Amino acid sequence: MTGYHAPAPADNGGRARKPDPARGFTAAPSSGPTEPMARRARPIRPPPRLLSRAADISGALRSMTAATFDILGIGNAILDVLARAEDGFLTDQGMRKGSMALIDTARAEAIYAAMGPGVESSGGSAGNTCAVAAALGARVGFLGKVAEDALGEVFAHDIRAAGVTFPTAPLAGGDPTARCLILVTPDGQRTMNTYLGACVAFGEADVDEAMVASAAVTYLEGYLFDPPAAQAAFRRAAALARQAGRQVAISLSDPFCVGRHREAFRAFVARHTDILFANEDEVMSLYEADSFEAAMEAARRDVKLAALTRSERGSVILAGDETHHIPAAPARVVDTTGAGDAYAAGFLAALTRGHALPECGRWGSLAAAECIGHFGARPQSDLKALVGAA
């Protein structure tokens, strides 16, 4: 992956604008939420079920009760504000390049006023995964908390327009909708500053039991471990999925997030997780391992299936005694925001279609390559054509 290409910001629903300190940290006017766009119905396929870790995974995908959704994502409902920045800006602002930091209102105002022209679009890690998976033809739902404000309307509009079912009621009278200020340096690396806002209100009561029970895979975003009530919501969702005979997947999201909640993450992965998504730094942080190989073997012991990404070195899929090495798809790096989210989307969209694990990895790699080839995390190409999906 080489080269840096700077396309003009906008499209894909983005709203280019120059931050105005007098305006405050608010959203551009929105036309409000709309109904989900119509999608062509396709026959309900029996989703896969992963059996014992010793089984041949390629032959272990078998039908269970028909699912209404292929994937149900649960995560932070966030509006992303992306802008280009030089490394010196990160240094001046005291930011650690490539990381995600939680910030308060005052810090959000200060960064927002200092950053250059940006693009606003619906984001959040699991939200991005859901949008990409829907673009690949998966039947997708999303649970996450926004406020009853303009930013919340933008988020709801965008994710529904992407073909994702989004039923969560907005928060009235509390904190505003979350937003993430993302600075993209010339090497394509993203540095995120997140104000959680209404996300902290997401709790067990927001877990839609019927949707979890009817989703082949419930996909949980590791960033949601930061709000205290969300960990209880995760455990509730996992229990409901297991009761319904469904699969539970989690993305570790960020090595610093893992470091903040390492013991809780390790317990959740070992006790409640079927499918683990992580990059090299995240899985090494989880297991406090000195090498990727050591972390890989620890993950193999904990879960039935792990998909571990390694940037330009591709990804490694672990299933019992099996190890599949998947090459990275060729790409020109513009912006790495959402690359891991897109990989998980491609992998799960293929898995719930019953594809073999190497093919799932191929879909993930192609979706990630499409993502990093443009500014912003939402797809701008025909992903179904890209992966060759029928």
For 174-209, what is each residue's pLDDT tens digit? Answer: 889 999 999 999 998 889 999 999 998 999 999 999
Model confidence band, residue 2 (pLDDT cutoffs 50, 70, 90): very low
Does the pLDDT at position 109 exceed 90? no
How many CB atoms neighbour CB 60 within 10 A? 17
**Which pLDDT belongs to residue 17?**
41
Backbone phi and psi for residue 245, each to the nearest 5 degrees, phi listed first: 75, 25
Quote the CATH superfamily of domain 65-76+124-175+201-387. Ribokinase (3.40.1190.20)
In sequence order, what DSSP letters do the residues of 50-114 get, joined into one string? ---TTS-GGG-----SPPSEEEEEE---EEEEEEE--HHHHHHTT--TT-EEE--HHHHHHHHHH
**390 — pLDDT class (breaks 50, 70, 90):** low
* Range list of β-strands (E), the chain: 15-17, 69-74, 78-84, 100-102, 118-123, 140-143, 178-184, 190-195, 215-221, 247-251, 275-279, 305-309, 315-319, 322-326
Does 21 have pLDDT greater than 60?
A: no
User: Hey, what are 105's tokens?
Assistant: 């209102």
Query: Does pLDDT of 67 surpass 70?
Result: yes
What is the structure's pLDDT at 122? 84
pLDDT in tens, 342-388: 999 999 999 999 999 999 999 999 999 999 888 777 888 899 999 99
**Of 240, 219, 226, nearest in space to 341 by CA:** 219
Distance from C-alpha of 336 to C-alpha of 188, rounded to nearest angstrom: 6
Q: Is the pLDDT of residue 10 over 90?
A: no
pLDDT for the residue numbered 142 = 97
Residue 270 pairs in a beta bridge with none
Whether the per-residue pLDDT at 49 is higher than 60: the answer is no
Please provide the distance, in angstroms rounded to a whole number, between the alpha carbons at the two ends of the chain: 28
Would strands 247-251 and 15-17 be described as parallel, antiparallel, or unpaired?
unpaired
Q: Give residue-wise pLDDT tens across range 227-248.
A: 778 889 999 999 999 999 999 9
Q: Give the whole-angstrom CA distance, residue 378 versus residue 122.
A: 8
pLDDT at site 55:
41
Question: Which has more pLDDT, 175 or 136?
Answer: 136
Task: Place 100 in a pLDDT band, splitting at 50, 70 and 90.
Answer: confident
Please tell me whether residue 248 adopts helix, strand or coil conformation.
Answer: strand
What is the predicted pLDDT for the residue at 46?
39
| Residues sharing a CB contact under 8 Å with residue 167, sequence separation 6 or more, in sequence order | 141, 143, 208, 211
Q: Does residue 40 register a pLDDT over 50?
A: no
Query: What is the average pLDDT score of the chain?
Result: 84
What is the pTM assigned to this prediction?
0.81
Contacts 24+ apart (CB under 8 A), 111-114: 111/181, 111/193, 112/19, 112/21, 112/25, 112/81, 112/181, 113/19, 113/21, 114/19, 114/89
Tokens of 213: 């029970």
Residue type, 77: A
Say if residue 19's pLDDT is above 70. Answer: no
Dist. CA 107–CA 264, nearest whole Å: 28
Residue-range domain boundaries for the chain: 65-76+124-175+201-387
pLDDT of residue 316: 98
Specify the pLDDT at position 31: 35
More confident residue, 2 or 87: 87
Place of tokens 């896969």: 48
